[in-house]
Structure 1
């Protein structure tokens, strides 16, 4: 498939896909046909995985540093667990901060009666 179809299937833009390629976040072989890049189902799966990892709050730098080794099987289960536990802790802290802001906003809203 061409990049436009890959973009449609993953919800990413072609520019984002090209950027991820430059960061070496995509795996798999690409064959050039008439000068156009070709993609397959492994690219769809890889990009959806990156989207999911980003949704968990990981940065592209985290993905480059940690998840390339993860996918390549170079991390032990203990290392994988530590990565996920650390991220969960960060997300819990962020959620607590967001909740504090929500409480504050509710109080402020209450100051302005109808």
Structure 2
């Protein structure tokens, strides 16, 4: 099965090892892609774990899981990436099967060899 992050790789060779904790994401973009795949596969624990500790109280596991499961994730498009930021569009269908685009400019930080999502600006 192709990876949800639109990398053209197989899921088992792309985002799955990060989501399962087998490997750490080597870059901010890799982390962002794996987080998208985690939304698509409803892996709320991974999404909480990869959110920076300073932001975790703003995102409950229940809310993350609700957002992940109430949408049908269709495609990820990475627009621009720097060492600590990623701009992307995530395409999805909501509960009413209406097409939406989540356009975000995300910030990431690396601490002790691990990348974390800090926050994002939405367009």
Structure 2 length normalisation: TM-score?
A: 0.24
Query: More strand by proportion, 1 or 2?
Result: 2
Structure 1 length normalisation: TM-score?
A: 0.26
